Amino acid sequence: MQGLNKDATLRLIRLGLSEDFAHGPDATTEATIDADVQLTAALVPRQDGVVAGLDAARWTFNEVSPAITVDIHAVDGDAAAPGDHLATVSGPARAILSAERTALNLLTYASGIATHTNEWTQALAGTHARVRDSRKTLPGYRDLAKYAVRCGGGVNHRMSLGDAVLIKDNHVASVGSVAEAYRRTTATFPHLPREVEVDNLTQLEEVLAFTPDLVMLDNFGVEGTREAVDKRNAMSPATKLESSGGLTLSDAREYAETGVDYLAVGALTHSVRVLDIGLDAI
């Protein structure tokens, strides 16, 4: 699994710390804790889940003070249970407490994404299908969010607008046909992987004639998806199919058993419920 991008994460960490220190030092901590006091604390989950973003937490503490030592006891992607010690943090108490919220914000956010993604992964277990994310991420958080999806067993869609072609309805409307949109993208960016969104089986047949890398089935029902898989198998077996639109955990397996390759779930990253993790003094 590709690791977390440190440069991108440090930019996010520094933005979070700049907000926390926007009006000066941590007033409460400075007033109540002497400068020479040392602290040892553990990062502890309050609920079951899948952990992600431990390096983000470690880099946050070290960004505030290199005198803080962070010993990590788990691996991103591990199952976490209440009471587990995911990491031990030791060093100047003032620095640790000043970094605590930014570190936990990133860790709980990433772990929440990994946990929800893992629920989808478990729902699809034993089928050919994989769950995929989207670009529905908050500015600055994309690398962390998509890393967390990988930790939960999911697959990333494109990271940006420039690493893959995705022909959607507005592109088709602007040039008059799927065929023309496909021709233009192939001529301009022949080296990029190519995905085409379709709304019905007639459009699918038109698209499959080009043997695209991937076709997105937008808001197809289960039966329509099954028919789409049959058409793909007959016309362009190498083309991957991705179900998208209104998918839920309760119907995930039914879609997966049609034979599609991916289930696109924007909610993995746009509707995050954080995993409750705290910093407890030892």
240: nearest Cα among 220, 256, 216, 266 = 216
In terms of domains, do 47 and 169 share one?
no
For residue 4, what pLDDT is reported? 95
C-alpha 95/C-alpha 91 separation (Å) is 8
Query: Which residue of the set 218, 232, 242, 261 is catalytic?
Result: 218
C-alpha 281/C-alpha 129 separation (Å) is 43
In terms of domains, do 91 and 126 share one?
no
In terms of domains, do 276 and 261 share one?
no
- Per-residue three-class SS string for the chain: CCCCCHHHHHHHHHHHHHHHCCCCCCHHHHHHCCCCCEEEEEEEECCCEECCCHHHHHHHHHHHCCCCEEEECCCCCCEECCCCCCEEEEEEHHHHHHHHHHHHHHHHHHHHHHHHHHHHHHHCCCCCCEEECCCCCCCCCHHHHHHHHHHCCCECCCCCCCCCEEECHHHHHHHCCHHHHHHHHHHHCCCCCEEEEECCHHHHHHHHCCCCCEEEEECCCHHHHHHHHHHHHHHCCCCEEEEECCCCHHHHHHHHCCCCCEEECCHHHHCCCCCCEEEEEC
Query: Considering its fold, how many domains does the chain have in total?
Result: 2
Residue 231 known to be catalytic:
no
Query: Does 178 score more than 90 pLDDT?
Result: no
Residue 1 lies in a domain: no
Confidence of residue 179 (pLDDT cuts 50, 70, 90): confident
For residue 1, what pLDDT is reported? 78
Domain of 232?
122-270
Query: Which residue of the set 14, 46, 101, 135 is catalytic?
Result: 101
Query: Which residue of the set 168, 184, 240, 253 is catalytic?
Result: 168
Q: What are the tens digits of pLDDT across the range 38-86?
A: 999 999 999 999 999 999 999 999 999 999 999 999 999 999 999 999 9
Residue 130 known to be catalytic:
no
For residue 2, what pLDDT is reported? 87
152: nearest Cα among 130, 180, 128 = 130
In terms of domains, do 58 and 48 share one?
yes
In terms of domains, do 147 and 137 share one?
yes
User: Does pTM top 0.85 for this prediction?
Assistant: yes
For residue 64, what pLDDT is reported? 98
User: What CATH number is given to the structural domain containing 73?
Assistant: 3.90.1170.20
Tokens of 109: 């956010």
Q: What are the tens digits of pLDDT across the range 76-104?
A: 999 999 999 999 999 999 999 999 999 99
User: What CATH number is given to the structural domain containing 244?
Assistant: 3.20.20.70
Residue 136 known to be catalytic:
yes
In terms of domains, do 179 and 254 share one?
yes
Q: What are the tens digits of pLDDT across the range 119-167?
A: 999 999 999 999 999 999 999 999 999 999 999 999 999 999 999 999 9
In terms of domains, do 199 and 130 share one?
yes
Query: Which residue of the set 136, 184, 226, 253 is catalytic?
Result: 136
Residue 63 known to be catalytic:
no
In terms of domains, do 250 and 276 share one?
no
Average pLDDT on 107-112 reads 98
Residue 218 known to be catalytic:
yes
In terms of domains, do 260 and 250 share one?
yes
Average pLDDT on 96-123 reads 98
